[in-house]
Structure 1
Amino acid sequence: MKNMKTVAGMLCLAGILSLGMGTTVFAEDGDSHYPVTITTYNYENEPIEMTFEKAPEKVFAYANSNIEELLALGLGDKIVAACGLDGDVREDLKDEFDKIQYMDTKPSKEEVVAMEPDFIAAWYSSFDDDWLSDVSFWQERDVNTYMSLNSAAKGPASEFPRTIEDEYEDILNLGKIFDCEDKAEEIVDQMKGEIDKVKEHVEGTDPLSVAVLEDEGDSFRVYGTETLGGNIPETLGAELKLGAENSENVGAEDLIAADPDVLFMINYDGFMTADEAIADITDNPAYASLSAVKNNKVFSVNLNEVYCSGVRTYDGIMTFAKALYPDLYE
């Protein structure tokens, strides 16, 4: 330990200290956090480096994940404007959310420029030509950006699967950018702790088979192993009965043939409620033969918990864990 501290001290004196996760902190002395360089992406899915000389002071935030991450890190006072919520903000963040300027409709790129932000936290799709333009547009104006990893920042899911680890990295990177790493690590450690608890519980047992589906009318969209919706139950020790190799849509016959032990149906604002998503299966006589229906093992999970979930990754973990292993949470 003494030698490790000595090495770290020498690195700080040299002006460079690696923090892992693709991030390097460059410091003039051992007491300085900045400048910080973070790896993010442009609209061509190319990794680029963003250097922060200080913590951003005027942030434009888009979508649940970025808005809620900033609020959870205690950075609401840094948000000059936000938009893009799907449904309500997370319950425990509502008081802080009420203090920020939230826009019901997306502002134009020109309106965002007029806000004079020094940082934009958004999704991959935000940086297309139809809205904010590529990150280079903002770099030329001395505005740093951060693109949520699971929003397709690295590329298509078939090549770059969406994982819990990427959600961790988003939170930890924001912690580094704003010099609130302890809080970011606390949020991530809570998620990791719950996963460790479940893994210990299921060790030595046969895995439950699951399917995570979204009703698209004439077929079901499968949340497979390359999606966050598939990665979470797999991480919790379950086995995907559908989507273990790809996430192609399936029909009723495919679902009946797969017959998973536990079935999760996606719900989201403006589509269907959790109760409606469950009833979509349980009230349909065509699915009466499913083991999950017979055993009351049909559940619903909100899209915000399984897509660019941010701090709601914990909620997703708990939704799956409680449904899969109720005896652990009695």
Structure 2
Amino acid sequence: MILGAALSLTASAVFADTTVQSCDRTVTFDAPPERAISNDVNLTEMMLVLGLADRMVGYTGISGWKTLDAEMTAGVEALPELSEKYPSKEVLVGADADFFFAGWNYGMKVGGEVTPETLAPFGIDVYELTESCAHIMDKDKASIEEMYADLLNLGRIFDVEDRAEGLVDGYRAELEAFSGGLDLGEPLRVFVYDSGEDTPFTAGRYAMPTALIEAAGGVNIMDDFEKSWATVTWEEVVERNPEVVVIVNYGDVTAEQKRAFMVSNPAFADLDAIKNDRFVTLEYVEATPGPRNIQAIKTLADAFWGQ
């Protein structure tokens, strides 16, 4: 018993004062979470690549909008989906969660019932997806560094720092090696088409596709749009004349249906992307911050430059 107590004290000492930055908050953990919940497919995949499935009691916010591929299905097969869309406070409390990995418009809404402040009285700590911080505070333009930061912070929170650092070092090396072999021309003008026919929902300055597009040798035509994911007008898209359209694939409307809508609409006939039939599809899990971002950059570069 004395040895057990000593080991327990040692473990507690290791985890004491583990502090990370989460948007405009600093959050301190005195022990790794043991009953975590993640929201959305990309955040859940971050948990899985860090080997944290055994620290989770479930996930939320996937099947209401998206379909898991075989890899993700296998990763979460032992976990229940606690809510098909955004979870209620009752769902999180009812699961006896001690940690919620979510973001603004990734499971939480500004002024909504589920926020770090509303969950704190129930002993549920929240770590916010860095990309989503643009909804509540001033921040820099989207960067692949934000995805790295999230993995490294999760590594510290769950005491798997070595694993997180190994993953991030690997991603950095892979991207550096790939970028060094790119033969880029003048940056291509790129429009991100997420959804919507009357008005398009797209990625602005603070959304991850802006960083992915730039890494692949393009420029998001909405990169001066001071938003993350938000709605613009088709008139703005036409005025900026994209050379390539990146379609985000998820939900009930398929990527091919989104492409058909743009191709068949006379208002878009003079766009360079339409005239040259230049479309590329990214899965939602590739276009949002997560482990598949490096592959997304490769997919975009191949579509932009044939490499």
Match of 1:311, SS state, is coil
Question: Structure 2: how far apart are the matches of 1:119 and 1:91?
Answer: 26
Structure 2 gaps, min length 5: 1-8
Match of 1:117, SS state, is coil
Q: 1:91 is matched by which residue type in structure 2? A: A
Match of 1:275, SS state, is helix
Task: Please tell me whether residue 180 in structure 1 is matched to residue 160 in structure 2.
Answer: yes
Shift of 1:72: 1.8
Shift of 1:273: 0.9
Shift of 1:99: 0.7
Match of 2:20, SS state, is strand
Match of 1:299 in 2: 280
Match of 1:301, SS state, is strand
Match of 1:164 in 2: 144
Match of 2:218 among 222, 230, 238: 238
Shift of 1:136: 3.9
Match of 1:6 in 2: none
Task: Please tell me whether residue 66 in structure 1 is matched to residue 49 in structure 2.
Answer: no
Match of 1:278 among 245, 252, 259: 259
Match of 2:32 in 1: 55
CA deviations on 1:170-219 (whole Å, 9 max, x unpaired) are 11111122222233234334443343244323356332332223453233
Do 1:162 and 1:228's aligned partners in 2 also have CA atoms closer than 8 Å? yes
Shift of 1:112: 2.4
Match of 1:100, SS state, is coil
Do 1:301 and 1:316's aligned partners in 2 also have CA atoms closer than 8 Å? yes
Question: Structure 2: how far apart are the matches of 1:210 and 1:46?
Answer: 31
Q: 2:75 is matched by which residue type in structure 1? A: E
Task: Please tell me whether residue 269 in structure 1 is matched to residue 256 in structure 2.
Answer: no
Match of 1:123, SS state, is strand
CA deviations on 1:279-330 (whole Å, 9 max, x unpaired) are 22233344343332333312233344333x322323432332221232x2xx
Aligned identity (percent) is: 24
CA deviations on 1:232-283 (whole Å, 9 max, x unpaired) are 111322133x22322672325x44443333222333213x211112222233
**How many pairs align?**
289
Do 1:190 and 1:314's aligned partners in 2 also have CA atoms closer than 8 Å? no
Match of 1:18 in 2: none
CA deviations on 1:53-103 (whole Å, 9 max, x unpaired) are 332211122222322211221111111122111412353232121111212
Across the aligned residues of Structure 1 and Structure 2, the Cα RMSD in angstroms comes to 3.1
CA deviations on 1:21-61 (whole Å, 9 max, x unpaired) are xxxxxxx99xx7423523344xxx6322222x332211122
Do 1:212 and 1:263's aligned partners in 2 also have CA atoms closer than 8 Å? yes
Match of 1:290 in 2: 271
Shift of 1:130: 4.2
Question: Structure 1: how far apart are the matches of 2:102 and 2:278?
Answer: 36
Q: Scaled by the length of structure 1, what TM-score is found?
A: 0.74
CA deviations on 1:120-157 (whole Å, 9 max, x unpaired) are 2122352766433x42444444433211112236725x
Larger Rg: 1
Structure 1 gaps, min length 5: 1-27
Question: Structure 1: how far apart are the matches of 2:180 and 2:17?
Answer: 37
Do 1:89 and 1:97's aligned partners in 2 also have CA atoms closer than 8 Å? no
Task: Please tell me whether residue 91 in structure 1 is matched to residue 63 in structure 2.
Answer: no
Do 2:48 and 2:75's aligned partners in 1 also have CA atoms closer than 8 Å? yes
Do 1:224 and 1:231's aligned partners in 2 also have CA atoms closer than 8 Å? no
Q: 1:239 is matched by which residue type in structure 2? A: V
